[in-house]
Structure 1
Amino acid sequence: MARKSLTDVVADDLLDRIVAGEFLPDSLVPGELELSSQHEVSRMTVREAMKTLVAQRILRVERGRGTFVNPLGSWGSLNAVLRAVSEGEDDAVVAVQLIELRRMLETGACELAAARISEDDLERLGEQLSLMKAAHEAADVPAFVSSDLTFHDIILQASGNIFVAVLFEPLHRILESRRAETSQVPQIQSNAIAMHEAILNALTTGQPEAARVAMDNHMSQTLDDLKSYVLRSQ
């Protein structure tokens, strides 16, 4: 793995401090002189680090006033947003918004996959569904989550749209974490199995509209389960 440049080190450290809540949205961050002293680097290095965060819309420069932190919703870096979310940024809101994002992307991907999916992919989906059922019976949450994620990954790949898979790749770690939380509830597992069966049946028929509806129903059930079993208890 390549070593980080000094610029990257300074940028990552400042982002970590922002994510940790040291600098809240719309607050002023330290100037070049202070940061260069803290990191024992040149002001040019600090300036380049700040430019990196400004380009990602994490920071904004107000002429004559200084450099300020932007609200999370303004950030233009998915990886930075995921770092902030992982540190506990309004967990309930983030959980709901993540399902909303999945609903927008996965229903379309499932619709595309219905006309493009191979027999081999359908067989692999069936295998993952069987593994989900076995994990449910064995109360093996990690195995259940792994099969659940793999089931969805197969559909994303089968959509034939390279952008869908690329968009979802950075989300994998946080999706795994969220699934591990929700899949602790046996009833959520049961509901997920039923929905995955419906999705597989729709894909097997090769009917795009039926596949889209089946995935949309799954996303609706997932959101309902989140609100009923997880968020309600927080």
Structure 2
Amino acid sequence: MGWLSLPLCGLDFETTGVDPETDRVVSAAVVLRGGGRPTVRRSWLSDVGGVEIPAAATAVHGITTEHARAAGRPAVEVVEEVAASVVEAVAAGWPLVVMNAPFDLTMLDRELRRYGLTPLVDRCTPYVLDPRVLDRKVSRRRGSRTLSDLARHYVVPLYGAHSAEADALAACAVTYKIANRYRFLAETPLPRLHAEQVRWAAEQQAGLRDYFARTPGKEHQAAGVRLDWPMIPAPVVTGSSR
């Protein structure tokens, strides 16, 4: 039996912004979907460690600073529990589904490190399925490939987009749909499929970087395109010299 018969563990964050090096987790969800099991949902709201949630971020996910501080749990507890839930799923042998994995997994890594917690890379080695990378591999269509775009294309309901739980569930459903439509993905053993995505993602990002470099007005964006997948390595911290 291939990986498509297993439960998929979906991970998603809503955050204070789009830079995982400096921004914070606002809400999080870890879900289990498929594999002949009942769907399981776990969601968290963080107090964001006392930082402000910018208005632009609130406009996306609807969570204000005031609400996060009043109803959220301590950020350190949230990120630890999220990491523990991921580790539990990985230990069970289940794939980890993360839409745009380099953002969310890097965000989780930096939040864990920020609070002096054990990084995910030191806890487990997940096999990741990224529906954006998979879709870009199998489909040459033009246009945006947000989760909402993929949900429409693969006819997956997405209720409450930009809710961490809704997005995590939809990412799992999209991944199932892609693998059922393009059977070579479902038939590829999970370790190999993970390794292939490392290569595919690098190729895709290199293509995006080249596009920016040759497009007037977008040249400055080329330098910011990273080829790392599924996570951007943490910066190396060097000791100060005396």
Structure number with higher helix proportion: 1
Instruction: Provide the TM-score with structure 1 as the length reference.
Output: 0.29
Structure number with higher strand proportion: 2
Whose Rg is larger? 1
Q: Larger relative contact order (C-alpha < 8 A, sep ≥ 6)?
A: 2
